[in-house]
Amino acid sequence: MTPISDHPVLLVTGGGRGIGAATARLAAQRGYAVAVNYAHNASAAEQLVADIRADGGQAIALQADIADEAQVLRLFAAVDIQLGPLQALVNNAGVVAPPARVEAMDLARLQRMFNINVIGCFLCAREAVRRMGTRQGERNFGAGYGRGGAIVNVSSAASRLGSPDQYVDYAAAKGAIDSMTLGLAKEVALDGIRVNAVRPGLIETDIHASGGLPDRVRDLSSSVPLQRGGSALEVAHAILWLLSAEASYTTAALLDVSGGR
């Protein structure tokens, strides 16, 4: 078992690939001990952890489907035991579905979209707040570490664009994440926890191919004022800033990382 870490402990959900992996890698370089959660792709997460360790960083890979409450509880318990008190959460795991108009969306699609992208984020935020909150008493549900911390939710520019003819369901799920960010930030402000969101635009990751649109970034880049897609690392830099003490007066912020789109 990995010894309890004396580095600040960060959990990145969906951390094995894409924006989550870039965030985990950058965080490890900045001295975080990183728990890399993944759902299915163990080899990507294990390789990332091996790379981080080879560079002298601390990381562990933990499998859990964030849409499953029992698995979320196991995930956070594993972080407690293997790394120690959680100080930062990046609620990054998310999915899209193939392009469809709302009139063609079936219940199974909608349930998957909202279970992972909304309920999963709520469950992880809940577990993080239970561990990070500095206020004692009946409000302190968790292990009572109470050191405070920061949460960054990975929303999307889709929440304000609406994504017509592609995935209004995804856009609406990210809209829920924006609202959750605003409400939770205000709710836990006196618990020593800051809560913010990044809203990436068109970012070069596998998520577009997973939704059946592998060329989506290239096809839409002319609609971006900066005339290009963004990289996962560019989003990771914004996330790491929001987690850091440099953002100590920033909470309930929705930070667009979208090239102006």
C-alpha to C-alpha distances, 186 to 160, 229, 251, nearest whole angstrom: 21, 33, 8
**Minimum CB distance to ligand NAP, residue 39 (Å):** 4
Sites for ligand NAP among residues 31-70 (CB under 6 A)? 37-41, 44, 65-67
Which of these segments, 3-11, 98-106, 138-146, 201-209, binds ligand NAP (CB under 6 A)? 201-209
* Binding residue for ligand NAP, selected from 79, 125, 202, 238, defined by CB under 6 A: 202
Assess 255 for contact with ligand NAP (CB under 6 A): no
Catalytic residue chosen out of the listed positions 38, 145, 170, 249: 170
Q: Which residue has the tokens 């405070």?
A: 148
**Minimum CB distance to ligand NAP, residue 7 (Å):** 22
* Binding residue for ligand NAP, selected from 8, 20, 84, 175, defined by CB under 6 A: 20
SS (H, E, C) 75-100: HHHHHHHHCCCEEEEEECCCCCCCCC
**x-or-dash string of contact with ligand NAP, 163-192, rule CB under 6 A:** ------------------------------
For ligand NAP, the closer of residues 139 and 165 by Cβ is: 165
Query: What is the spatial distance between Cα 222 and Cα 106, in angstroms, rounded to a whole number?
Result: 32
Q: Residues of 144-179 as b/e, b for ≥16 C-beta within 10 angstroms?
A: ebbeebbbbbbbbbbbebebeebbbbbbbbbbbbbe
For ligand NAP, the closer of residues 16 and 133 by Cβ is: 16
CB atoms within 10 A of CB 191: 16
**x-or-dash string of contact with ligand NAP, 77-106, rule CB under 6 A:** ---------------xxxx-----------
Number of residues that bind ligand NAP (CB under 6 A): 31
Query: What is the spatial distance between Cα 79 and Cα 101, in angstroms, rounded to a whole number?
Result: 40
**Minimum CB distance to ligand NAP, residue 3 (Å):** 26
Query: What is the spatial distance between Cα 7 and Cα 239, in angstroms, rounded to a whole number?
Result: 18
User: Could you tell me where the beta strands, DSSP code E, fall in the chain?
Assistant: 9-12, 33-38, 58-63, 86-91, 149-154, 193-200, 254-257
Give CA angle at 58 (5, 1), nearest 5°. 65
For the question of residue 170 being annotated catalytic, the response is yes
**Minimum CB distance to ligand NAP, residue 171 (Å):** 10
The residues that are catalytic are 170
Chain residues binding ligand NAP by CB under 6 A are 13-14, 16-20, 37-41, 44, 65-67, 92-95, 116, 120, 154, 156, 200, 202-203, 205-207, 210
